[in-house]
Each structure stands twice: as C-alpha cells, then as structure tokens.
Amino acid sequence: MIITKTVRPLLEEIFYLGARSPILAFKNVEKFLKQYDESDKQNRIAILKHIAKTYHPQEENFPSQIQKMTSSNFIQTCENIHSYTEPKYAELFRLIGRQPDGVHSLVHLRADILKFLPEIESPAYVERMSESLRDLLATWFTTGLLQVERVTWQSPCEIVQRVSEYEAVHRIRNWADLKRRLGPYRRCFAYTHHMMPNDPLVILHVGLVDNISNSIQTSLRGIELGNALIKRCVLQLQAEHPELEKFSSLSPIPDFRKWLMEELHSSSTSIISSEIRSWFHSLFSTSTWHLDETVLDEIRPILMRLCAYYLTQVKHSKTGYARDPVANFHLRNGAVVWRLNWLADRSERGWKQSLSMMVNYRYYSFDRIDRNSIDYIDKQKIQIDEQVSKLL
C-alpha cells in the first residue's frame, strides 16, 4: 500500500519540520495532500486510520502521566494536561489549513471520513479524529466569518453549478429547471467562506408565494440550514419585500416510511391496530395500490395520523430529540410543526421516503424562534400547530 512506502515517512517529516516552523513544512504538506488526492478509496481509508491511531495520545501509562503533570499551579496543570491529551494530528490539520487551498482540503477530508466510517472496523480512533477536525472547522466557519449572497442566473458558472449539484431534497432535472429556480419569483441564498468563494457551504431556496405552500412546486425549503442563516435571509427578504409576513419550509419526511414498516413488523406496537396492520400488509404487498383514488381516500386519515405521531412523538433512542433528521433540524432552529401535506411529493423519491407526504415547518418572530429552540434543546419540547395536533 502507498501508506507504508511514502505517507508514513512524509508525515513524520511534516511533524519534525512543523514543530520548528510551519513554513518549513509547507512543501511536504502540499506533497501529502497531492498523494492523498491521488490515492484510491482503500489507500485513503488506510491513511486516515494510520493518522487517527498513530497520532492519538497513547493509552499506555496514561493515569501515571497525568499524575506527573499535576502541581500546585492549577493553570499550569491544565496547560500540561491539554498539551498531553491533544491529538498530534490536530497540528497536522492546522498545517494543512495554512495551505492556499487548505481549508477546502480539510472540508473534503472530513467528508471522506464521514463517508468511510461505516466501512471501518473498530472506528473509535477515526471517530475521535472526525470530532477533532469538526471542532477545528467550527472555529473557522462561524457565522461572523461567512458571507450570505444571493445566487442568480448571472452568478459565476461554478457557483450555479454547485447549486445544482448540492440540491438534495428535490433534484434539479436540467438547466431549464435550474434557471426556473433562480427566476424572478424565487430566491436562492448561499453561505460562502472567503477561502472557498465558489463552493457554497449552505444553500437556501425560497419561493415567493401568496400563501404557505402545500406541494412541491413552490416553497421555502433548506438543507442543513443554521438558525443564523435563516434569520439573515429573512431580514434580506423583508428589506426587499416589506409585505412578506409568513416564512415556512416545505420539507421532506425522509424516514417516515422506514419507521412505518418497522411498526408494521413489530409484535409489540400499540400504535397500529391489528385490523389496520392486516389491511396495510395486504395493500403494501401490491405495487399499484397508491394509484387507486378510492384506496387513497380511505387510507389518508390513517397515514396522516401516523405521520403526525411520527414527527411529534417518536424520539431518537440516544438523544431524546425527534427521530426524523429534517424535523430535528428545523425544531432545533426554532420552527413549529405547522401542517402535514397529503401527496405533496409524488416523485419516486418522495413515495419511497414518506408515501409522498411533506410537512411545513413555520418560523414566526425571532423571539419566538429563540424560545422554541431553547425549549427543544433543553426539554425536547416540540411546538405543534393545531392543524397537526388535531390529527393525533
């Protein structure tokens, strides 16, 4: 493997020179990044595993080493312990960050880590490295260092292309579809970093409509949006259109069908009656039941109730927050589960994820957003509109 012959000695040289001056390590860091980029998947995994294990604090004699660092000077003790317990690869990440395109390289390095983690046996060290890199990136990507800019059809081609590539909720079908989404009744905002000006970190699509949408055609929807981005975009929209009053997402429900199938095959569920379960098993054994309007009318109130239950009552077993990842995102940002929309996304993806249902998350005043966010984060309290609570 490439790691044995070239990367190991190269990393040692980087640490040796970097300890003396980051400038001395510059060329070797550049060489390391080039070798990593040119490596195939298995070699990349091998490199990441090697860095994570080799440059993590060693377990041997750890308690005795910590004891040696304690002294009557508490501040000095804290500094000693921090210095000893900080992984050595943190310095490698800082050296990479000094490269002209280093921040971009680190973003893609962590993307590789997250992508490869499920395939790595005994991933504890790699997971710890991922967290360390996440924390470093978080200091560089605070909202104060990010720019919010509107993307239009006249924006640089590279950033327009990224908007198309990064759309993960409703795939952009072609250039005509992309042009429509950047058209006069739409707004597309992007968070960018000055080190990655044409590679947006977060993208927010907005549709300007008379009322809150209940189907896929027009919406305010976001992917991995932060509270700050939502507020900054709302302020920009209100400045441009003072008459705007309502702000809402039209969001997918990616895990609803998966959860429903789990409940149908569970012997202990009390949410679905035995009669309904038998009916569902019979229906789902066919591939055309969803084309029958009579069946859809009969099943609608049942599925709407179950979906409302899933979004508001089903929690993640470890965190206590909403199990649905999109719901968790919007609730953490202070939204209200406002309305369920029947057959709002009839695409193949929408059918497979949520039996074509979608949900509006509504954002009210900034003060209410903040209160909702705190209640959810501290107490796992989910704010629900009457339209949803009546379904339960």
The token duo for 203 is 């993208």
DSSP 246-295: -EEEEE--TTHHHHHHHHHT-SS--SS-HHHHHHHHHHHTSSSGGG-HHH
- The residues with which 147 forms a beta bridge, in sequence order, are 192
Candidate list 170, 248, 330, 354, residue with the active-site label: 330
Q: Which two tokens stand for residue 20?
A: 């003396």
3-state helix, strand, coil in the chain (%, to 5): 55, 10, 30
Burial of 190 (0-12, 13-18, 19+ CB in 10 A): buried
Is 330 one of the annotated active-site residues of the chain? yes
Amino acid making up residue 84: Y
Catalytic annotation, pick one of 251, 268, 316, 389: 251
State the Cα–Cα distance between residues 206 and 338, nearest whole angstrom.
18
3-state secondary structure of 321: coil
C-alpha–C-alpha distance, residues 82 and 98, integer Å: 23
* Dihedral angle over CA of 301, 306, 312, 313, nearest 10: 140
Confirm whether 282 is a catalytic residue: no
Residue 76 CA to its chain's centroid (Å): 38
Amino acid at 248: S
- Provide the 10 A C-beta neighbour count for residue 310: 22
Question: Within 13 Å of residue 34, how many CA atoms lie on the same side as its CB?
Answer: 8
Question: Is the separation of the CB atoms in 151 and 160 below 8 Å?
Answer: yes
Q: Which residues are catalytic?
A: 251, 330
